Chains A and B, each alone.
Chain A
Amino acid sequence: MTRFHHRLHQDKQGRELFVEAALEAAESVDNGFAFGDADALYLGYFSSDMFEHQGHTAALMADWLGMNPKPAYRVEDACASSGVAVNAGIQAIASGMCDVVIVGGVEKMRTLGTKEVTDTLALAADANYEAGVGFTFPGLYAAIASAHFSKYGSTWEQLQQIAIKNHVNGKKNPKAQYQETIKEIADKLGERKGMSFRDEMDFLNSSLNPVVASPLKLFDCCPISDGAAAVILAADDVAKKYTDTPVRATGIGQASDTMALHDRDDLTSLRATGFAAGQAYKMAEVEARHVDVACVHDCFTIAEVVATEDLGFFAKGEGGKAASEGRTALDGEIPVNPDGGLKAKGHPVGATGAGMVYEIFNQLRGQAGEHQIADAEIGLVHNVGAAGATATVQIYRRG
């Protein structure tokens, strides 16, 4: 994958980012790999149309990789686009139609300013009944937070522990957009503004952390990012040709839910996550307690709380408390988002699901560097589209 970043890629288009990610994937194959080896490409790209005035991006990327005449499929499922692309690629291999598939995603977002990005992301909500009455994308998760606070007594202070943890992790990840702790950011911004902060919470409570959609503030939200990620999938018998240490996809799940958040009986849970996880756990013959490391969809701090509950790591209502007790930290019982998550690693929408697979691949091969979880054997990837109308889960195992 490319580094996810808000400035670094300003002279590149989406096509160059995706080629860069795919080249790294190909070069990492132990026994060598040529793009022509692949039978198909599945590409997640949420809104190339708005961000780059470019449609038909799967064919474009296949062309740029020199894959013609292999078929290429674009997947658009909002922020779950490449999670779905990965599932589609796994299904293509499981069906017997393909032996080798390239899956991945890209989003080139920084062509637009924050206002236009806000409008573009809101396309993933119901245009008539949510965006049409003023809901932004952060607004939907803010609504979830308000319901979670009200039902379970969880707090904004608990959410901050997730942002703090994910920045601590992001600092250890050379691919992350923000490789700084929140304390370091506080000190840097404070110096510039003539302010000083005792600790992270002092900063997070300050005017330098403005409200985006109450109760969520700036540091509750993932950033706007450019980036791409690519993964090479191969059938079991074919994979041996490429490597002696593959990572196996042992279970996948995917589910849909009502487009509008307001149509859900329980606003504190993403049902699609629960359904997808149930399928994936069953196929992989594991339970939540067996997972050694997880990348979950933390587009907002509250989203990580809800995800860790819906995936079965913690009881409903306990996710915030668990995070604030350090149970999801690198040295916790279930490390969540060791790569910094969407919060610190960045969230180029269409690339996120594949970027999570990149992280879990490295974790299960013991090559995640400073943020390696010791002896990780079973990894989970969880990718969500918008406010949970789509969710995917995959379980991976050291091969």
Chain B
Amino acid sequence: MTEYTVKAYKDHLMNEELVGVECKSCGHLMLPPRPLCNKCGSMDLRWRQYKGKGAVAAKTVIAVPLTRFQDRCPYGVVIVTLDEGVSISGLLLDENIDVGSRVEAAYVKEEDGVVLAFKAA
């Protein structure tokens, strides 16, 4: 069975590590990890750690929240394109961040795990 699971990703987040996989066959980078390459189909993968720094590609501030996030409301969410070229969604911790702003990963610990977040770099 694959080791590239959601659980493994979340376990790494607990250690403040942002990990995905790299395809050994075609070099494609993926974040979060997946059991097979979504570009070439290879299962010949290796772990790849990302630095968590990048630029905001899209941003919103949510006023009608998910129940789980209602105590934070209003809260920002961003899609960040990391310097390595992959993109990921995260909670936004800082104000005055817009599309194009530089951000870095932060790890928000909650009772049931960690939420990936970004703050101004």
Q: Which residues of A contact B (CB under 8 A)?
A: 114-116, 118-119, 122, 128-136, 138-139, 142-147, 149-150, 210-216, 258, 260-263, 267
Contact = CB atoms under 8 A, between A and B. Distances in A.
Contact of B89 (A213, A214, A262): A262
B80 to A, nearest CB: 8
Nearest to A132: B115
A368 B77 CA distance: 42
B66 interface: yes
Contacts of A146: 58-60, 99
A215 B63 CA distance: 11
B64 interface: yes
A262 B60 contact: no
13 contacts: A118-B67, A129-B89, A131-B66, A134-B77, A138-B62, A143-B59, A143-B60, A150-B99, A212-B64, A214-B62, A261-B89, A267-B57, A267-B58
Given A128-B10, A142-B62, A212-B64, 7 more contacts: A133-B116, A134-B66, A134-B77, A136-B62, A145-B60, A213-B63, A258-B38
Given A133-B77, A146-B58, A267-B79, A262 B88 contact: yes
Contacts of A258: 38
User: Contact residue range for chain B?
Assistant: 35 or more
Interface of B: 6, 9-10, 32, 38, 57-67, 69-70, 72, 74-75, 77-80, 87-91, 99-100, 115-117
B99 A135 contact: no
Given A128-B32, A147-B99, A136 B58 contact: no
A114 to B, nearest CB: 7
Nearest to B85: A265
A258 to B, nearest CB: 8
Contacts of A118: 64-67
A55 B56 CA distance: 40
A133 B115 contact: yes
Nearest to A266: B57
